[in-house]
């Protein structure tokens, strides 16, 4: 087994910058492809259905994110735990963690599927969805959540592969499933005139394909990540550790979603034109976010493995390189989107007012994504160290608390679209400041922990 470990990607030795790029680029492309194929849902209904269908599909993002982020956070916890065991070369614990993670994915997916059926319409009503779109939006959400078991299996399976530095096979899976999704969109919407139900069914089918491919890869692994369905079981100690890291990470994602729901509620209140414009702009905002988030995920995995190997210098260097490389990528991507904002928006709508408002939103949000990169990278490193609660608590106050306060005070005093959008960059600046400061405080504490661990290992070796 030790020979297998050596053959796998070793993130604890050798050059870092190229390994970070090899890790982050396929991961970013995977997320972008996923969003591109999701955007196909918006584009198809926007072009071949009507404005209400476009608003119904495009405005559901905050609800979906709110409900799935806690469990996606658990997949991050699985990534950190397995990465740390890889750094320690503890293959027995790796095997237990893999099977615990897959069973956790199945249970959480089934839970979300059932919950989604009951909570979809009440959540849309809470978000002030207009009467002309709420029925369509409810239909879309209910069908979408039926695919949750497969989405969770994909998220946890890709997290397991990421823990050893493999981001290529999730990319292959998404590419295949995404092409199927786009093809089915045209069949169901253009051919069968199924509108929002058509794009929702196409999404579920593509999720079945992507999760099945990753499960195939895991069951045919030759190393320590091999999945055997007969060995599926929950290891209590590992589950506790996954939850300790993953729940705060999930709560951090939920905090973003809650704050976005409060903003989306006000957007919905401003009418279907602004709803459609925000739905269009969000497609490009999310592309930039997924690019920078890939470097945040790299920070999680590289910190986790090197912390497990007690190599703090590599942990520190990984964070700095993630910021440098991620910063360059974010600047280039953001600039391109802003330069071509008008023609890009016209891909999703032919309404001139929708395009104009979409460009305004992109300028307010995408111009400040570099600040968001700092939040992702330093939060990722803190999670890799096992301090997942720290960035979560800061985000609760800096993101969620501030945006809700902004919406109910500054925005309410002059309820314009641009004033509402100002909540994004200001909340990012506040949150980034405190997360970066916390990183340097925690790093001092980690140094002592690693020194104690190395001393413990030396004593064990001398006693053998």
Among 159, 194, 146, which Cα is nearest to 80's?
159
**∠ CA 332-21-86 to the nearest 5 degrees?**
145
Q: What average pLDDT does this structure show over 68-80?
A: 85
Q: Is the pLDDT score of 457 beyond 70?
A: no
In angstroms, the CA 95 to CA 85 distance is: 10
Q: What is the pLDDT of residue 59?
A: 65
Q: What is the pLDDT of residue 2?
A: 40
Q: What is the pLDDT of residue 413?
A: 92
In angstroms, the CA 155 to CA 159 distance is: 6
Among 229, 245, 95, which Cα is nearest to 153's?
229
Q: What average pLDDT does this structure show over 65-93?
A: 85
The highest-confidence range among 37-41, 97-101, 161-165, 195-199, by mean pLDDT, is 97-101
The highest-confidence range among 124-133, 302-311, 370-379, by mean pLDDT, is 370-379
Contact of 424 with 372, CB cutoff 8 Å: no
Tokens, residue 317: 């260097």
- Sign of the dihedral through C-alpha 368, 373, 376, 378: negative
Arithmetic mean of pLDDT over the chain: 86
In angstroms, the CA 37 to CA 350 distance is: 20
Percentage of the chain modeled with pLDDT above 90: 45
Give residue 203's pLDDT band: very low, low, confident or very high (50, 70, 90). Answer: confident
Report how far apart, in Å, the C-alpha atoms of 43 and of each of 27, 29, 59, 264 are: 24, 20, 13, 20
More confident residue, 218 or 6: 218
Q: Is the pLDDT score of 127 beyond 80?
A: no
The highest-confidence range among 175-189, 409-423, 450-464, by mean pLDDT, is 409-423
């Amino acid at each position: 087994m030790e020979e297998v470990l050596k053959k796998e990607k070793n993130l604890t030795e050798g050059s870092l910058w190229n390994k970070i790029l090899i890790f982050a680029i396929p991961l970013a492309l995977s997320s972008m492809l996923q969003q591109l194929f999701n955007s196909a849902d918006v584009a198809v209904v926007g072009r071949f259905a009507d404005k209400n269908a476009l608003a119904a599909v495009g405005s559901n993002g905050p609800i979906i994110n709110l409900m799935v982020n806690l469990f996606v956070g658990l997949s991050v916890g699985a990534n950190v735990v397995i990465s740390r065991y890889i750094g320690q070369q503890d293959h027995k614990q790796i095997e237990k963690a893999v099977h615990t993670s897959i069973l956790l994915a199945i249970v959480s997916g089934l839970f979300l599927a059932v919950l989604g059926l009951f909570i979809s319409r009440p959540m849309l009503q809470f978000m002030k969805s207009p009467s002309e779109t709420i029925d369509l939006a409810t239909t879309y959400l209910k069908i979408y959540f039926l695919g949750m078991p497969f989405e969770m299996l994909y998220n946890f399976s890709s997290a397991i592969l990421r823990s050893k530095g493999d981001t290529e096979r999730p990319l292959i899976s998404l590419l295949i499933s995404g092409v199927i999704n786009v093809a089915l969109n045209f069949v169901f919407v253009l051919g069968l005139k199924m509108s929002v139900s058509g794009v929702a069914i196409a999404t579920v089918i593509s999720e079945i394909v992507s999760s099945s491919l990753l499960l195939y890869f895991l069951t045919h692994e030759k190393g320590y990540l091999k999945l055997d369905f007969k060995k599926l079981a929950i290891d209590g100690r590992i589950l506790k550790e996954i939850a300790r890291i993953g729940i705060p990470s999930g709560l951090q994602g939920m905090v973003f979603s809650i704050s976005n729901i409060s903003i989306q509620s006000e957007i919905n209140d401003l009418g279907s034109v602004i709803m459609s414009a925000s739905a269009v702009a969000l497609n490009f905002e999310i592309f930039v976010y997924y690019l920078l988030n890939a470097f945040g995920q790299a920070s999680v995995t590289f910190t986790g493995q090197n912390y497990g190997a007690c190599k703090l210098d590599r942990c520190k260097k990984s964070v700095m390189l993630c910021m440098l490389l991620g910063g360059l990528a974010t600047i280039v991507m953001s600039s391109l989107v802003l330069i071509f904002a008008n023609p890009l928006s016209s891909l999703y709508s032919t309404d001139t007012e929708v395009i104009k408002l979409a460009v305004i939103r992109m300028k307010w949000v995408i111009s400040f994504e570099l600040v968001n990169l700092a939040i992702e990278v330093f939060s990722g490193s803190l999670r890799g160290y096992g301090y997942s609660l720290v960035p979560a608590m800061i985000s609760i106050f800096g993101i969620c608390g501030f945006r809700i306060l902004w919406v109910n005070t500054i925005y309410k005093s002059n309820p314009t679209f641009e004033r509402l959008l100002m909540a994004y960059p200001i909340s990012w600046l506040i949150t980034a400041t405190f997360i970066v400061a916390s990183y340097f405080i925690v790093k001092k504490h980690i140094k002592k922990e690693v020194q104690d661990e190395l001393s413990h290992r030396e004593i064990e070796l001398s006693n053998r």
